């Protein structure tokens, strides 16, 4: 599990604001490997969303570099970045963002079809992706016929369909009750364990607990990160 | 480990039938994932007291000659009473972290953001490690262990929310009371420059959580 799927190096992002400027990110470095889920926590305005946008190629850093699946985004033109995004990166949002006029299977197949796959092979891959999130039975239903938790699991299937290996999740449990939220985290975690890489932005510690590491962002800087795993049973014994 | 917790925990183990002394230790270990770390001596001392109080009585021996103990009517009633009585005496007000932060908040030479962040990282690490254990636990097989881990997870989640709150409160005070900050609270280092923005941020995220 040593292959790096996402690498941010000294990423800086400055926005112009009137006469001055705002540094949303001030030199952030972060590496996420296959099989790894990294949680990002921090107060609003600390740069979490900017970090996610830059990792996903939606925004360009003012300086520093971004690499996804071994490809540096800095050297690509906007069309190539769009293709990389479509083929390699999936997003999961708080409000699910499924296309309401398409069935669950069509939603999941969409990035593949846009990428030129035949309808038949895209459909087969979508079926497999829905199986992996435990929802084979909803393939032909429309988003409004699904519960929030089911929609989010469909969104996870779409995020990791085909060759996509990086999922960027922005408060994916924000619109769900806590039991459903945990069920969604369980599905996301299982997909990561199967070899994907993930970044999870959340303000809920309980969900961040599912990540391998949590990094803390403040004023555009990573101020701290949880260390490697310890023997939790030993910790428990010491606590008692 | 509080003596009371061990006492009642042991007594509760008798509900599903007579047990011999060492069996109590094994069962307590299994149900708490080994985390209670109660030694054999303490088990036997506690058992003696339970017998003395009439909550448990000898009940013959098993086929290997080990002396068995069983719950008495009196013990059953005491246990029922315990279940229905809320826990009031806890270590809560003497929690080291509570004291540390309460003191740090008053001390102008301490940068509370650093104290809070270091604790946040440590609490988050524990939360992750317990979440790992909880994911491996099967509540159908071992309900006590699963619930015990849930307790730790919820407690840490509460602790982390409280840390955000403490940070927000202290920063807001320092921001809204600049006069006292300049006289009695020389802000540590460069952090002072960013207090206003940080205070606003923390307050906002605190609201979003509720």
Cross-chain Cβ contact B127/A205 below 8 Å: yes
In B, minimum Cα distance to A185 occurs at B135
Spell out which residues of chain A touch residue B1, defining contact as CB-CB under 8 Å: 240
pLDDT given at position B173: 80
Nearest to A209 among B33, B127, B202 (CB): B127
DSSP letters spanning A86-100: HHHEEEEETT----T
Q: Does B147 reach chain A within 8 Å, measured CB to CB?
A: no
Domain limits, chain B: 3-84, 92-209
And the tokens for B98?
């509570």
In B, minimum Cα distance to A217 occurs at B117
Instruction: Please report, rounded to a whole number, the percentage of residues in chain B having pLDDT higher than 90.
Output: 46
Contacting residues for A87 by C-beta, under 8 A, at least 6 apart: A111, A115, A162, A163, A164
Q: Does B139 reach chain A within 8 Å, measured CB to CB?
A: no
In A, minimum Cα distance to B3 occurs at A240
In B, minimum Cα distance to A232 occurs at B129
Q: How much is the average pLDDT of B81-87?
A: 87
Q: How confident is the model at residue B91 (pLDDT cuts 50, 70, 90)?
A: low
pLDDT given at position A17: 85
Cross-chain Cβ contact A229/B128 below 8 Å: yes
Cα B125 to Cα A39, A124, B202: the distances in Å are 12, 40, 21
Which DSSP symbol is given to B189? G
Higher pLDDT, A167 or B175: A167
Nearest to B208 among A44, A205, A236 (CB): A44
Q: How far is A211 from chain B (nearest CA, A)?
A: 7
Q: How far is A240 from chain B (nearest CA, A)?
A: 5
Question: What do you get for the CA distance between the two ends of chain A, in Å?
Answer: 35
Q: Does A203 reach chain B within 8 Å, measured CB to CB?
A: yes
Q: What is the per-residue pLDDT across B38-60, written as a single tens digit (0 to 9) for each?
A: 888 999 999 999 999 999 999 99
pLDDT given at position B2: 62
Contacting residues for B198 by C-beta, under 8 A, at least 6 apart: A43, A218, A219, B113, B171
Class of domain A4-239: alpha beta
User: Do residues B205 and A43 make contact, with C-beta atoms less than 8 angstroms apart?
Assistant: yes
pLDDT given at position B106: 83
Nearest to B130 among A41, A226, A232 (CB): A232
pLDDT given at position B203: 40
Burial of B10 (0-12, 13-18, 19+ CB in 10 A): buried
Cα A4 to Cα A11, A28, A33, A66, B150: the distances in Å are 17, 16, 4, 12, 33
In B, minimum Cα distance to A236 occurs at B35
Q: How far is A88 from chain B (nearest CA, A)?
A: 28
Compute mean pLDDT per 10 residues along chain A, 240 residues long, and list them.
87 91 94 96 92 95 95 93 93 94 96 93 95 94 96 95 92 92 93 94 95 95 86 62
Our CA angle for A49, A188, A148, nearest 5°, is: 80
Is domain B3-84 annotated with CATH 1.10.10.10?
A: yes
Q: Does A173 reach chain B within 8 Å, measured CB to CB?
A: no
pLDDT given at position A180: 92
In A, minimum Cα distance to B29 occurs at A237
pLDDT given at position A237: 62
User: Taking 60 as the threshold, does the pLDDT of residue B21 lie above it?
Assistant: yes
Q: Does B5 reach chain A within 8 Å, measured CB to CB?
A: no
Cross-chain Cβ contact A236/B161 below 8 Å: no
Cross-chain Cβ contact A232/B133 below 8 Å: yes
Q: How far is A58 from chain B (nearest CA, A)?
A: 24
Higher pLDDT, A21 or B192: A21
Cross-chain Cβ contact A205/B124 below 8 Å: yes
Q: Does B120 reach chain A within 8 Å, measured CB to CB?
A: yes
Higher pLDDT, B98 or A126: A126
Nearest to A226 among B128, B153, B161 (CB): B128
Beta bridge partners of A227: none
In A, minimum Cα distance to B153 occurs at A206
Q: How far is A73 from chain B (nearest CA, A)?
A: 31
Nearest to B125 among A41, A226, A237 (CB): A226
Domain limits, chain A: 4-239
Cross-chain Cβ contact A45/B204 below 8 Å: yes
Q: What is the per-residue pLDDT across B105-153, written as a single tens digit (0 to 9) for each?
A: 888 888 889 999 999 999 999 999 999 999 988 888 888 889 999 999 9
Alpha carbon distance A159, A111 (integer Å): 9
Nearest to A233 among B35, B124, B201 (CB): B35
User: Taking 70 as the threshold, does the pLDDT of residue B35 lie above it?
Assistant: yes
């Amino acid at each position: 599990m040593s292959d790096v799927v996402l690498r941010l190096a000294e990423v800086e992002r400055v926005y112009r604001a009137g006469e001055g400027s705002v540094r949303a990110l001030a030199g952030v470095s972060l590496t996420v490997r296959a099989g790894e889920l990294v949680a990002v926590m921090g107060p609003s305005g600390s740069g979490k969303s900017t970090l996610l946008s830059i990792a996903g190629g939606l925004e360009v850093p003012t300086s520093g570099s971004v690499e996804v699946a071994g490809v540096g985004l800095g050297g690509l033109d906007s069309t190539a970045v769009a293709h990389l995004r479509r083929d390699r990166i999936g997003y999961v949002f708080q409000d699910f963002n499924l296309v309401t006029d398409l069935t669950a299977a069509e939603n999941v197949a969409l990035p593949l079809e846009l990428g030129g796959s035949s309808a038949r092979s895209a459909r087969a891959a979508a079926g497999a992706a829905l199986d992996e999130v435990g929802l084979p039975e909803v393939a032909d239903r429309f988003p409004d016929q699904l519960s929030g938790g089911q929609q989010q699991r469909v969104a996870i299937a779409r995020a990791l369909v085909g060759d996509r290996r990086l999922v960027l999740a922005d408060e994916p449990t924000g619109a769900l009750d806590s039991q459903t939220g945990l069920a969604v985290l369980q599905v996301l975690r299982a997909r990561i364990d199967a070899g994907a890489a993930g970044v999870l932005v959340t303000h809920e510690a309980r969900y961040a607990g599912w990540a391998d590491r949590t990094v803390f962002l403040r004023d555009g800087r990573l101020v701290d990160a949880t260390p490697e795993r310890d023997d939790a049973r030993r910790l428990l014994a010491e606590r008692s | 480990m509080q003596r009371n917790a061990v006492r009642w925990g042991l007594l509760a183990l008798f509900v599903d039938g007579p047990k011999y002394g060492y069996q109590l230790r094994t069962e307590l270990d299994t149900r708490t994932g080994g985390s209670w770390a109660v030694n054999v001596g303490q088990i036997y001392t506690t058992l003696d007291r339970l017998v003395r109080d009439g909550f448990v009585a000898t009940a013959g021996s098993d086929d290997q000659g080990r002396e068995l103990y069983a719950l008495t009517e009196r013990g059953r009633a005491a246990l029922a009473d315990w279940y229905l009585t809320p826990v009031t005496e806890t270590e809560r007000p003497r929690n080291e972290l509570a004291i540390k932060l309460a003191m740090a908040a008053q001390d102008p030479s301490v940068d509370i953001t650093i104290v809070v962040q270091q604790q946040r990282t440590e609490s988050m690490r524990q939360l992750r490690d317990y979440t790992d254990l909880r994911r491996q636990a099967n509540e159908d097989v071992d309900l006590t262990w699963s619930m015990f881990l849930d307790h730790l997870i919820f407690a840490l989640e509460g602790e982390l929310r409280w840390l955000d709150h403490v940070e927000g409160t202290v920063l807001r005070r320092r921001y809204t009371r600049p006069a006292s900050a300049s006289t009695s609270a020389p802000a540590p280092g460069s952090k002072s420059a960013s207090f206003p923005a940080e205070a606003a941020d923390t307050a906002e995220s605190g609201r979003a959580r509720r």
